[in-house]
Structure 1
Amino acid sequence: MAIPLLAYSPSCPNQRVDALGARDDEAMIYSTDDLFSPTDMGNLIQAAYRQIFFHAFRWDQEVTLESQLRNRQITVRDFIRGLLLSNTFIDSFYNKNSNYRFVEHCVQKVLGRKVYNKAEKIAWSAVVMTKGVKGFVDELLNSDEYIENFGENIVPYHRRRILPSRAVGEIPFNITSPRYDAHHRQQLGFPQTIWQESVRNFIAYDKQPQAGDPSLFLNMAKKITPKANNLNTISAFNIDIAKSVPYRRS
């Protein structure tokens, strides 16, 4: 005898089930509390690079900081501090932006949110002006907001991406916030307009010439400019038989 489905009800009117996997509008949280293998630590380090640098090339990586973090000599918060004070970050975000723009980048990357208003930008810019970049970074990482949300072992991430009454979350900061402000983008010549002289047509794969097809060598054949050899005509009366015929000398 089959057992009928048992009756149940949600615990509240807005009950929702957990998602099966992370979506684009959900943040991946990386913490050293959950890491037990070198691969997991490598994923955490790459997540930190993406959060602070957006992308780290090989020459941008801080090898010493990575080694200290892998050996648990420093915390994730110390690693983030090292990235913010690195030459790559200073040159890419501080030297090429105003203090206001620099504050926007740091608040987005460190606190995981946008600045509230112009007053907040002015307040943090005053810290940059009076305490320098290092003092400003320390103020951000020592703030109650950072400690409450990320603590010592969590990589900062984009918070508040999922908003009420919205089906799609906020666009990530790295896409909406260019690295340079408008003034420096103009100095560097961005954006650049690229004109394409020829129009490319799509050719299906089955109609493309295969290896050995004569059409593949058409351009090479057009570049060849053959020249006829000029033959020198010599009369038989002008040939010295004695000198032309080889003979053996004793």
Structure 2
Amino acid sequence: MALPLLKYAPTSQNSRVDALRVGSDEDPRAASMDKAMDREDQNFVIESAYRQIFFHAFKVDRDRTLESQLRDGQITVRDFIRSLCLSDTFTRSFYNLNNNYKVARHLVEKLLGRPTHGKSEEIAWSAVLMTRGVRGMVDDILDSQEYLDAFGYDTVPYHRNRVVGSREVGETPFNLTSPRYDEYYRGIFGFPQIVYTGTAKAFPQRAQQRRGGFPEDYLPWVRTLPALRGVGSAQGNTGMDYLSKVPYRSISR
């Protein structure tokens, strides 16, 4: 039985406040297909979509058919995002490796461009994820009024209002706050652990032999020598007439 989305109280977040500031370098660059004038701009939109959902897309993770349909206008950016969230790559490399709370938080951050409204929203979306699966949650988010107002049909989702006016550094990106493996699966995998599969390099036996000439070999012998005369003496040779010791040669000779 499919459960409706539970009610949760929105919390005050930076993404809910209109940006009353001058633009900066940290402002997100919206990637929109309706503004793509050439193939290079289209590639930028496609790469932004892959980074938004997969963090990084390898060559084997790319879907050339979807990319071609997006370039030809057969599907929208929202449809492209939906297909990436329902792809085998997302299911195999993320959904199967995390619990429902982590997946719900990840989809909200990636698709709505904001953090979740506390633990209550994570529980609400995890209930949808439990009863209707990833497809049901992705459809609800992409069909929501919040998503359509923020990104529409042709804009790739991004981290909204990341710059905070009262701080020098903005909000931490989602790929750092929500890594691929959190404490749940790091504990299962036994992370962190050091695995060394190579062989330790050892010095050969001939390199450990003392062949003479090392200063350390003469240190015991030096300690047995009597103390030198005048070493450390305060008077020294300060009274010597050095000029009388120097031989004099006349210029006429």
Where on the TM-score scale, by shorter chain, does this alignment land: which range? 0.5 to 0.7
Aligned counterparts of 1:172 and 1:193: Cα–Cα separation in 2: 28
Decide which moves more: 72-81 or 127-136.
Answer: 127-136
What is the match of residue 138 of structure 1? 139
Question: Residues 184, 31 of structure 1: CA spacing in aligned structure 2 closer, same or farther, 3 A cutoff?
Answer: same
- Deviation digits for residues 191-234 of structure 1, max 9, x if unmatched? 23478x89xxxxxxxxxxxxxxxxxxxxxxx9xxxxxxxxxxxx
Aligned counterparts of 2:21 and 2:99: Cα–Cα separation in 1: 44
What is the match of residue 158 of structure 1? 159
Aligned counterparts of 2:192 and 2:148: Cα–Cα separation in 1: 39
The SS at the match of 2:122 is helix
What is the match of residue 237 of structure 2? none
What is the match of residue 32 of structure 1? 33
| Amino acid in structure 2 at the alignment position of 1:62 | D
Higher relative contact order (CA 8 A, sep 6+): 2
* Residues 1:169 and 2:170 are matched in the alignment: yes
In structure 2, the gaps of 5 or more residues are 1-19, 202-206, 208-253
The count of aligned residue pairs is: 182
* Contact 2:45 2:156 (8 Å CA) reproduced: yes
What is the match of residue 113 of structure 1? 114
What is the match of residue 189 of structure 2? 188
Aligned counterparts of 2:174 and 2:29: Cα–Cα separation in 1: 15
| Amino acid in structure 2 at the alignment position of 1:169 | G
Question: 1:188 deviation in Å?
Answer: 3.1
- Deviation digits for residues 100-149 of structure 1, max 9, x if unmatched? 11101101100011101111111111111121111111001001110000
Aligned counterparts of 1:158 and 1:127: Cα–Cα separation in 2: 23
Question: Residues 38, 181 of structure 1: CA spacing in aligned structure 2 closer, same or farther, 3 A cutoff?
Answer: same
- Structure 1 consecutive aligned stretches of length 4 or more whose deviation exceeds 6 Å: none
The SS at the match of 1:174 is helix
* Contact 1:96 1:181 (8 Å CA) reproduced: no
Q: CA RMSD in A?
A: 2.4
What is the match of residue 89 of structure 1? 90
Decide which moves more: 178-187 or 91-100.
Answer: 178-187
| Amino acid in structure 2 at the alignment position of 1:123 | A
Question: Residues 191, 148 of structure 1: CA spacing in aligned structure 2 closer, same or farther, 3 A cutoff?
Answer: same
| TM-score normalised per structure 1 | 0.67
Aligned counterparts of 2:47 and 2:181: Cα–Cα separation in 1: 23
* Residues 1:123 and 2:98 are matched in the alignment: no
Question: 1:73 deviation in Å?
Answer: 0.4
State how 1:1-250 maps to structure 2 within 5 Å: 18-19=23-24, 23=25, 25-193=26-194
The SS at the match of 2:94 is helix
Question: 1:18 deviation in Å?
Answer: 4.7
| Amino acid in structure 2 at the alignment position of 1:29 | A
- Deviation digits for residues 157-204 of structure 1, max 9, x if unmatched? 011211231121111111221112323223334323478x89xxxxxx
The SS at the match of 1:95 is helix
Question: 1:44 deviation in Å?
Answer: 0.7
Aligned counterparts of 2:37 and 2:58: Cα–Cα separation in 1: 26
What is the match of residue 229 of structure 1? none
Question: Residues 55, 16 of structure 1: CA spacing in aligned structure 2 closer, same or farther, 3 A cutoff?
Answer: closer
Aligned residues with identical type, % of pairs: 54
The SS at the match of 2:104 is helix
| Amino acid in structure 1 at the alignment position of 2:106 | H
Aligned counterparts of 2:100 and 2:134: Cα–Cα separation in 1: 10
In structure 1, the gaps of 5 or more residues are 1-14, 199-221, 223-250
